[in-house]
């Protein structure tokens, strides 16, 4: 399921570019302007609902922190559970974690060990606002699978196709991006 040209334009026009953030040479894709635009946010969430309503999902796993915004709303619309995938040290119960490489160093995310229920094979969609190099997204998909659940797809509002993150993640799970930036 693809966005219509009108829907795509509404979403693209609602995302602000911030030059040289967080450092010089980077063009940051700011989705806060999409969130405060009721038409754009409605278009986005209705599209995601229509796409995923037949996937027989049991959980949405949102990546810290912007994935929480879309993931929790979509989980409510689909009437399924929401699971936060957090940065290390933010979850209060027993967790499993996965490290991933950053441009300058290593970071780590984690999920509760029982986040997807006691039975194995729960169908999970991972969601976040943007995929660039794919380190965090790959770690999130790995965590889902390590719990015994199944990461059936990873969804991103924006995909930076000039980086290799989408290709890397597609080795692990199907990837869906609404807007691609070349």
Kindly list the catalytic residues.
66, 103
Cα–Cα distance for residue pair 58/43, rounded to 1 Å: 23
Residues 6+ apart with CB under 8 A from 90: 64, 110
* Of 61, 14, 16, residue with least CA distance to 42: 14
Give dist(CA 43, CA 116) in Å, integer.
Answer: 29
Longest CA span, the chain: 47
CA atoms within a 13 Å half-sphere pointing along the CA-CB vector of 113: 4
**Integer Cα distance of 17 and 8 in angstroms:** 16
């Amino acid at each position: 399921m693809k966005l219509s040209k009108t829907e795509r334009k509404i979403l693209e026009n609602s995302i602000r570019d911030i030059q040289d953030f967080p450092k010089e040479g980077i063009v940051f894709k700011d989705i806060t302007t999409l969130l405060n635009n009721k038409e754009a946010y409605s278009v986005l969430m209705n599209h995601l609902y229509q796409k995923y309503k037949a996937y027989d999902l049991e959980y949405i796993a949102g990546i810290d922190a912007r994935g929480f915004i879309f993931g929790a709303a979509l989980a409510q619309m689909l009437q399924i559970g929401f699971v936060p995938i957090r940065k290390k040290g933010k979850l209060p119960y027993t967790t499993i974690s996965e490290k991933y490489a950053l441009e300058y160093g290593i970071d780590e995310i984690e999920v509760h060990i029982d986040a997807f229920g006691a039975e194995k094979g729960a169908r999970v969609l991972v969601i976040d606002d943007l995929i660039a190099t794919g380190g965090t997204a790959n770690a999130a998909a790995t965590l889902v699978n390590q719990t015994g659940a199944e990461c059936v797809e990873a969804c991103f509002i924006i995909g930076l196709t000039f980086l290799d993150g989408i290709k890397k993640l597609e080795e692990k799970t199907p990837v869906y991006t609404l807007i691609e930036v070349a």
